[in-house]
A and B are shown apart, each in its own frame.
Chain A
Amino acid sequence: MATRVTQSDELLGLDRDKLIEMLRWMILGRRYEQKAAEMYQLGEIGGFCHLYIGQEAVAVGAITPLRDEDYVITAYRDHVHGLVRGMNPRAIMAELFGRIDGCSKGKGGSMHLFDISVNFMGGHAIVGGHLPVAVGIGYAIRYRESDAVCVCFLGDSVANIGAFNESLNMAALLQLPVIFVIENNQYGMGTAVHRAAAIENLADRACAYAGMQGWTIDGMDVLEVRRTVEAAVERARLHKLPTLVEAKTYRFVGHSMSDPNYGHYRTKEEVHHFKSTDDPIKQYIDILKKHSMIEEADLDEIENEVKAIVEESVEFASQSPAPPPSELYSDIYSGDYPDIKRRDPWRW
């Protein structure tokens, strides 16, 4: 699918615990999203809900090598990034349910997850809107002379928006430790990448910015993603240089819950092909098995653990109360909202 950035030990010298931890995150991501789909169909989750099924290798490969002080920011397909970054799975599910124990008290929803206690900076739902925000986090990192980095995930369609150029230019110009990870899942909603971008590999656009590297990789290979992002993190941490990574991946499900898995813009055969030959979890399990790192019994154990987490998240979310009406006007300003009764006399 794409070229490798470096050739080295297939398992990157990671010990078994780390390798299994990555697998656990991928499986949790998959099962969590499958459960979210189920809850959406039951009417527990409303609005737009974009699932990450098929793309797990990107978030897991890019987030697991980060340190606590690093930052992660992403677009609206954000549940799994939040999970892998360390958000409480219960708080995410409660947010999807629109409940008070959600990470944003039920006021952000699926597309706007935030947890600053783990430096997870959102959850942003305007395509391209969060790129300048990521650059601002990078600016703050250098302002404070910290050696943290910021990993910013973006969809393939962002490469065509003005904010992409503005952001990458600023990051390169000011030498900010930001790693832009394009998750190229082949479609911006229903528009194939080649119908939207006048370039084959989106990462090639990095050549427009001095000091920036652009790497296109197989985003279905979690170890390849990790290896690449580790290299990008090192450039950012040590040399304050931004990198543009394009991870070629595929979503196995529709753009959002309202889009069928296949139909108008992609065929059943295409989806089936990717699922049967390119499933990032299956591929990773095969590699781990080849290296005798895992057996069926381990997989069962992971599945059971993950199932318990997912079930518990749903149970927690179901029990959590809806936000009280007083939440309507809280968190708009740092103090109380001024003059609620004057502005809004009949709601109370």
Chain B
Amino acid sequence: MAVVTYREALNQALREEMRRDPDIFLMGEEVGAYQGAYKVSRGLLEEFGEWRVRDMPIAELGFTGLGVGAAMVGLRPIIEYMTWSFALLAIDAIVNAAAKMRYMAGGQFKMPLTFRGPSGAANQVAATHSQALDSWYAHVPGLKVVAPATARDAKGLLKSAIRDDDAVIFLEGELLYGMKDDVPEDEDFLIPLGESEVKRAGTDVTIVVHSRPLHSALQAAKIVEEEDGISAEVIDPRTLRPMDIDTVLESVRKTNRCVIVEEGWPVCGIGSQIVDDIQREAFDYLDAPIARVTGADTPDPYAQNLEQIAFPQADYIVKAIRHTCYRE
């Protein structure tokens, strides 16, 4: 175990997996000579050469489709987007090709692709570069969607995503790259896709949260414990599709109250789906309506003060917890 950054954990995962399997290659903008726009691929070009660490022109649709073609014939591409906002240019290749082609071919081949890059809130880069489109991808059958919030999860989940035989959308938190955490050095350290983790045990309310807002939720849990004596259980699904909802249900059946937090927009968000699962399967256990804390239903504003209030903050989560626990 060593304390490393989220960025370094991802780098370890890439390096270890590429050493293990020569069919894996990394492709994207600035992944090679520049060492990665966020330095996640630092040193990989030097170790693996240009056929395995390939700088591409700014052509997201082109190199995403390229990854699909290479995966169809058995390679295991990792396609990096400089940010997930740019993947909007590749949406046809992701949704119509990567997600569906296996089905349309009656299962004749696999689609062992990993699409990865920074996602969610960023610092003052404004509306086109800062957004959480997690639910877009989670909507699509044929895709798996992963969004780690810690360095440890980032490493274990990326390794599993790369080894998976299906197309995986891997959403890295743009503001998490510098965050440090204990990360196992073991090359076989894997976190299976589709497993939630209880990040903090509690008894009075369940908070379901993924990606960067996990850290705000943990802060909020501490505040309500100290100020209100509320014991909050914090669960990170980590994989958004397929989601381990059983862990959430088990917790809600115990706490009878739930707050769901995400960076994305409120309408048809990840939380909307979780609410649906809870109301169907734990309706009789609920003592209060479920509360949601989301990103503001606006494009991300540039001004620092506006941006700060646009994404979920610990104090909004505190308010939602108190409301749900009838402590206002």
A residues whose Cβ falls under 8 Å from a Cβ of B: 71, 73, 102-108, 112, 114-116, 121-124, 126, 129-140, 142-143, 162-163, 166-167, 169-170, 173-174, 330-334, 337-339, 342
Contacts and interface: CB of A to CB of B under 8 A. Distances in A.
10 closest A-B pairs by CB: A136-B69, A132-B65, A166-B62, A331-B107, A104-B106, A114-B105, A133-B69, A105-B106, A334-B165, A136-B66
Contacts of A334: 102, 110-111, 164-166
A108 B104 contact: yes
Contacts of B109: 116
Contacts of A136: 65-73, 77
Given A108-B104, A123-B104, 20 more contacts: A73-B69, A104-B106, A107-B104, A108-B105, A112-B105, A114-B105, A116-B108, A132-B63, A133-B93, A136-B70, A136-B72, A137-B70, A140-B70, A170-B59, A170-B66, A332-B103, A332-B142, A334-B111, A334-B166, A338-B242
Nearest to A73: B69
B66 A135 contact: yes
B72 A137 contact: yes
Contact of B62 (A130, A167, A338): A167
Contact of A112 (B51, B57, B73, B104): B104
Contact of A102 (B92, B106, B110): B106
A330 B61 CA distance: 28
A132 B66 contact: yes
Contacts of B51: 142-143
Contact of B103 (A102, A107, A169): A107
A163 B75 contact: no
Contacts of A126: 92, 96-97
Nearest to A144: B75
Query: Which has the most chain A C-beta neighbours within 10 Å: B104, B105, B106?
Result: B106
Contacts of A170: 56-57, 59, 62-63, 66
Contacts of A104: 104-106, 108
Contacts of A131: 65
Interface in B67-106: 67-75, 77, 92-93, 96-97, 101-106
Query: Which has the most chain A C-beta neighbours within 10 Å: B101, B105, B141?
Result: B105
B72 A121 contact: yes
Contact of B106 (A103, A124, A163): A103
B194 interface: yes
Nearest to A103: B106
B104 to A, nearest CB: 4
